[in-house]
Amino acid sequence: MSGSYMAEISRKDPACILFLLDQSSSMSDPFAGDAATRKADVAADAINKLLMNLVLRCTQNIGEGPRNYFDVGVIGYGSRRGVGPAFGGALTGRTLVSINDLATGHLRVEERTKKVSDGAGGLVDTVVRFPVWFDPIADNGTPMREALQLAASTLQPWMAEHKQSYPPIVINITDGEPNTDPASAASALTKLNAADGDVLLYNIHLSGVSSTAILFPGSSTGLPDAFARMLFEMSSVLPPRIQQEVKAEGYSVDDAARGFIFNADSAAFIQFLDIGTRLVLQAGGDR
């Protein structure tokens, strides 16, 4: 990682968030200790929710539509379709889309039940609307290298068009060992360089076993196996401002801390996504 990672995000210089989502068959397994939740469902929900928050974040005034502060994409890997964009509906086949396109292109709006405070210390069920852009898929292998290569080939022209933008953030979500070696592709991806810094690659490993999650490690010491060490090596060192966010969440991290979480349960996964994208979310706009 090199760069200042201080670029302001604006419509002129939007940011880019690209998800790489493992859709291998093991993603249909439950999280450790939580038999009711399939990893693929949690991942899809988390990303759909983040996309919704991005649209809401950019929706600022009546009548003007959401502001294009971000381009976003979701690349799935492992499904029978191979490696490719995961969006359904009107956005099918598109890798990176603007927030405006996202706002008009959701697949459907679901109604979900959410527990909210009743104002008297209890919880009541409330129906909330939940737009989704893609459905969970879980089959076939784990072609992570091809996914990283597609990310690089997608981001290269984007970065050429957005030279002053905050460097793209790639968030790779996987639950198992890749059947193609991703290391060199990851290295090539994170060498893509913008004025404000290199592409950031964060890796989230979803746990299938009951084991303590390892968050934001600063070294590979203590990581359980070669696969964990490989994901660590692939992950970008956290820029200082994100380090501060991580510290503010109560994690003790050092300057070498990387955007990597190993053996994440569903809560840690969602929190990681939140922290990893928060600064970008906050930075967008005129404040």
**Interaction site with another protein (CB under 8 A):** 8, 10-12, 52, 55-57, 59-62, 65-66, 103, 109, 129, 279, 281-287
Integer Cα distance of 225 and 264 in angstroms: 15
| Residues present in the chain in total | 287
Kindly report the number of other CB atoms within 10 A of residue 128's CB atom.
10
For tokens 């893609």, the residue is 134
The distance of closest approach from Cβ of residue 97 to another protein in the complex, given in angstroms and rounded to an integer, is 15
The distance of closest approach from Cβ of residue 147 to another protein in the complex, given in angstroms and rounded to an integer, is 30
For tokens 């966010």, the residue is 245
Integer Cα distance of 88 and 70 in angstroms: 19
Quick one: which H or E segment has residue 157?
Answer: helix 144-161
Cα-based distances in Å from 91 to 104, 146, 215: 9, 21, 34
In the bound state with another protein, the residue whose beta carbon lies nearer, of 91 and 234, is: 91
Which tokens go with 19? 């998800």
In the bound state with another protein, the residue whose beta carbon lies nearer, of 188 and 195, is: 195
In the bound state with another protein, the residue whose beta carbon lies nearer, of 10 and 236, is: 10
Integer Cα distance of 54 and 70 in angstroms: 8
The distance of closest approach from Cβ of residue 152 to another protein in the complex, given in angstroms and rounded to an integer, is 30
CB distance 167 to 14 below 8 Å = no
The distance of closest approach from Cβ of residue 215 to another protein in the complex, given in angstroms and rounded to an integer, is 22
The distance of closest approach from Cβ of residue 58 to another protein in the complex, given in angstroms and rounded to an integer, is 9
In the bound state with another protein, the residue whose beta carbon lies nearer, of 66 and 182, is: 66
In the bound state with another protein, the residue whose beta carbon lies nearer, of 49 and 229, is: 49
Residue 52 sits at the vertex; the CA angle it makes with 48 and 55, to the nearest 5 degrees, is 140
In the bound state with another protein, the residue whose beta carbon lies nearer, of 10 and 266, is: 10
The distance of closest approach from Cβ of residue 132 to another protein in the complex, given in angstroms and rounded to an integer, is 14
What type of residue is 260?
A: F
For tokens 């939940």, the residue is 130
